[in-house]
Amino acid sequence: MTFYERYLNGETEKVYEDIYKLGENAFLPNNITDIEKVLTETFERVAYNLDIIYNELVEINYLFKTDFQYNFERPLIEPLPDTNQLLLKLDKAVKPFGFVPTSLKMFYKIVGACNFGWDYDTNEDFIWECADPIQITSLDDLVSMVINDDTLESFQEYYEDDGFISLELSADYLHKDNISGGAPYSLQITNKPSIDAPFLNEEHNTSFINYLRICFDNCGFSKITDPKYNNDYKSFFDKVKPQLKRI
């Protein structure tokens, strides 16, 4: 079977393991068409799952931010009309340092952006403590940050020190709870074209796609089950989890 057929057959994680093993060969003509079908299916499922979780959170009066100054503050955004042009700008900005992983591009083309953070400016009484709600910044705000002269200067310094740069996509779980925390969750820019890449500064030490998988395993909140915080999430899980699609 093709990767796509196997993916539809339920081998969601194993398919990606095999795709990653291909390395740059994933981009060969006899592979990339099949792989792009897998990615399209994956991110259509991501968009579907986010809609489900958002609607269920609205039902329980979850406190989303409503006074928006920037797109990244909105709970959900569909792909922007100028997504392709913005991705070209992003590619151009990071070209001296590497390549934007295909997974992030597909996220922006199919999903858009999300921010399920609690509006702590309105009410600091969180429904769940340090639950780490899913948050992936909007493409327009990411590009605005990346093309900034100060950011490009920082990229050069990081590249000289570490041999790679990364794109900041999400606050860490402490900052999401208005607590002074650590570095933002970031996606590594790879030296060669890649299907996916490490999602940095997040405790699971995994790839971007697998991080999304972990989020959906936990109904949009990757740390909600941490016993340290005694979150009452069972009724929410019981209602939401059966509705979600495996990515």
Cβ distance 222 to 215 under 8 Å? yes
Helix (H, G, I), strand (E, B) or coil at 206: strand
DSSP 175-197: HHTTS---PPEEEEPBSS--S--
Pairing, β 76-77 against β 135-136: unpaired
Q: Quote the pTM value.
A: 0.96
* Confidence tier at 149 by pLDDT (50, 70, 90): confident
CB–CB of 103/208 below 8 Å? Answer: yes
Residue 180 reports pLDDT greater than 90: no
For residue 55, count other CB atoms closer than 10 A to its CB.
12
pLDDT single digits (tens) 19-77: 999 999 999 999 999 999 999 999 999 999 999 999 999 999 999 999 999 999 999 99
- pLDDT band at 193, cuts 50/70/90? very high
pLDDT at 229: 95
The predicted structure's pLDDT at residue 216: 98
Instruction: Give the Cα separation of 226 and 130 in Å (integer).
Output: 9
- Is residue 239 packed enough to be buried (19+ CB in 10 Å), middle (13-18) or exposed (0-12)? middle
